[in-house]
Amino acid sequence: MKVTEKDVKYIAALSRLEISEAEMPKFTEQFNQILNYADILQKVDTTGIEPTFSILPLYNVLREDVPQEGVAHEDALKNAPAVHNDGFKVPRVIE
């Protein structure tokens, strides 16, 4: 087992996910399954092949610097859980 429950807890915390103690073994196992599969891929000889950053056969998709209307202020705030002074009201967050 490469990934331990401690790793899973850490990653869950970074992702703001709650994983119960009961679910822990299942997630830990699945994490390891994923990594084991990656290990198989690691065995492929990739000498001389550049890393693939994008699987699309596309480059240089760029946009001209011309402003366009976005969404209306009221519509934007419809997605806010709460509104204060025209802003998205969020709980105090200390980084």
Partner 1 sequence: MKNYITVIGLEVHAELKTKTKAFCSCSTEFGAEPNTHVCPVCLGMPGALPVLNKRVVEFAIRAGLALNCDIQKFNKMDRKNYFYPDLAKNYQISQWDEPICLGGHIDIRVNGEKKRIGITRIHMEEDAGKLVHSGLTISTSDYSAVDYNRAGVPLIEIVSEPDMRSAAEARAYMEQLKAILEYTDVCDCKMQEGSLRCDANISVMPEGATEFGTRAEIKNLNSFRALERAIEYEVERQIEIVEDGGHVVQETRTWDDANGVTLSMRSKEEAHDYRYFPEPDLVPVNLDQAWIDEIKATLPELPSARKERLLAEDVPEDNADIIVASKKVADYFDAGTKATKNLKALSNWLIGDVAGFLNAEGIEIDNPEFRITPDHLGELVNLIDKGVLSSKLAKQVFAEMLKVNEAPEALVKKLGLEQVSDAGELGKLVDEVIAANPQSIADFKAGKKKALGFLVGQIMKATHGKANPGMVNKMLMEKLQ
Q: Is 94 in the site for partner 1 (CB under 8 A)?
A: yes
Total residues interacting with partner 1, rule: CB under 8 A: 36
- The residue among 24 and 77 lying less far from partner 1, judged by its C-beta, is 77
Q: Which is nearer to partner 1, 22 or 58 (CB)?
A: 58
- CB of 49: closest distance to partner 1 in angstroms? 15
- Binding to partner 1 by residue 18, rule CB under 8 A? no
14 binds partner 1 (CB under 8 A): yes
Identify whether the C-beta of residue 4 lies closer than 8 Å to the C-beta of residue 28. yes
Q: Out of 38, 44, 49, 66, which residue is the one contacting partner 1 (CB under 8 A)?
A: 66
Contact 41, 49 (CB under 8 A): no
Element spanning 76, H or E = helix 73-78
How far is residue 40's CA from residue 52's CA, in Å, rounded to a whole number?
A: 17
To which H or E segment does residue 57 belong? none
CB of 46 to partner 1, least distance (A): 16
CA–CA gap between residue 15 and residue 31 (Å, rounded): 15
